[in-house]
Amino acid sequence: MSQPQPNVESIADTTKPNAGRMYDYFLGGNHNFEIDRQAAEQVKKLTPFATKAVRLQRWCLQDIAERLTTDLGFDIIIDFASGLPTQDHIHQVVPAGTTVIYSDADPITVAYGREILKDVPNTYYFQVDCSRPEKLLGHPEVIKIVQENRKVALVYWGVSAFLTEEVIKYISQYLYKWASPESYFVFQAQLAGFDPNDPALINILKVYKQIGTPMYIRSLEEYQQMISPWHPDKKGFISLLDWHGLDQSEMSKEEQNVFGPGGVGYGAYLVK
Ligand SMILES: C[S@@+](CC[C@H](N)C(=O)[O-])C[C@H]1O[C@@H](n2cnc3c(N)ncnc32)[C@H](O)[C@@H]1O
């Protein structure tokens, strides 16, 4: 397992738009700068569905938090590339006593995140590049929190399109070795199913490339190869539209064409 190089050069620079803070702007948050808002508006012009898509992603994340805890009984959730832990994030919907470990590479997101969580018990926020999961899982404070418990729920939601194929393979193999049997790895095959030749999508990809965070469009089959040796549970990969029951009729014809049947991609509960 060779360790890939991270792709986060723009992440600490407040003079450049940042994908995470743009995401916060799409969600209606106020942890973003003028430079982020301008870039986000460019994306919104190209596809008005962007705001809805980002909300859908967060709604699904809340569904995940509930299922992992209430249905599956996990009491530790380790979330990678978390973004801002605002009202609609994991800690808001889990039962009291659940430990939630958030992380992100963007130092500004981490600083805001810690501020938001300062009075919330059992929640933590670490600054870690998710391409190197060992940095979070091997962090002395995380070791203290998790102790010997390796039957945990690991979450990579809303970030895979920002990661190279080499990185996704590395993460999957690392987590599989690290976790105990019956652990869960919740993974979003972000943007899978998009038509890579769609002119609106091509323009969005240009915006993200310009701001230094290139995005990769892949098919679901390609993602499925990358997550080996994990296997989805019996429901398999589910489109985010089906996951949250969002009606396609809420989208214009043009939006349906760009986003295809997957909405914002597909998600799955991968089980060891
Ligand atoms: C689209 S947001 C997703 C946030 C959250 N997981 C969700 O689904 O709502 C992507 C987040 O990934 C973070 N990010 C991007 N590349 C990263 C990396 N290599 N390591 C850690 N975080 C990263 C960004 O800073 C941003 O906060």
Summarize pLDDT for 93-152 with one digit per residue, the tens.
Answer: 999 999 999 999 988 889 889 988 999 999 999 999 999 999 999 999 999 999 989 999
Question: Is-contact 56 248, C-beta < 8 A?
Answer: no
Tokens of 72: 């599956």
Domain boundaries defined on the chain: 54-271
**DSSP for residue 68:** I
C-alpha span between 68 and 243 (Å, rounded): 15
* pLDDT tens, position by position, 225-271: 999 999 999 999 998 888 877 666 666 666 666 555 556 789 999 99
- Closest residue CA from atom 6 of ligand 1: 82
* Cα–ligand 1 centroid distance for 214 (angstroms): 13
For residue 23 and ligand 1, the question of a CB distance below 6 A is answered with: yes
Question: Which of 52, 90, 104 gets mutated to test ligand 1 (max ligand atoms within 8 A of its CB)?
Answer: 104
- Give the torsion through C-alpha atoms of 129, 134, 137, 138, to 10 deg: -110
C-alpha span between 160 and 77 (Å, rounded): 18
C-alpha span between 191 and 216 (Å, rounded): 8
Question: Is-contact 78 136, C-beta < 8 A?
Answer: yes
* CB < 8 Å & 24+ apart, contacts of 106-111: 106/11, 106/12, 106/18, 106/20, 106/21, 107/11, 107/12, 108/12, 108/14, 108/18, 108/21, 108/31, 109/18, 109/20, 109/21, 109/24, 109/31, 109/82, 109/83, 109/84
| CATH fold of the domain at 54-271 | Rossmann fold (3.40.50)
* Cα–ligand 1 centroid distance for 80 (angstroms): 7
pTM: 0.89
- The answer for residues whose C-beta is within 8 angstroms of residue 108's C-beta and 6 or more apart is 12, 14, 18, 21, 31
C-alpha span between 69 and 86 (Å, rounded): 19
* Cα–ligand 1 centroid distance for 244 (angstroms): 21
* Cα–ligand 1 centroid distance for 256 (angstroms): 25
176 SS3 class? helix
- By the 10 Å C-beta count (0-12 exposed, 13-18 middle, 19+ buried), 147 is classed as exposed
| pLDDT class of 7 with cuts at 50, 70, 90 | very low
Looking at residue 8, its pLDDT comes to: 40
Question: Which of 162, 167, 188, 191 gets mutated to test ligand 1 (max ligand atoms within 8 A of its CB)?
Answer: 162
76 SS3 class? strand
For residue 238 and ligand 1, the question of a CB distance below 6 A is answered with: no
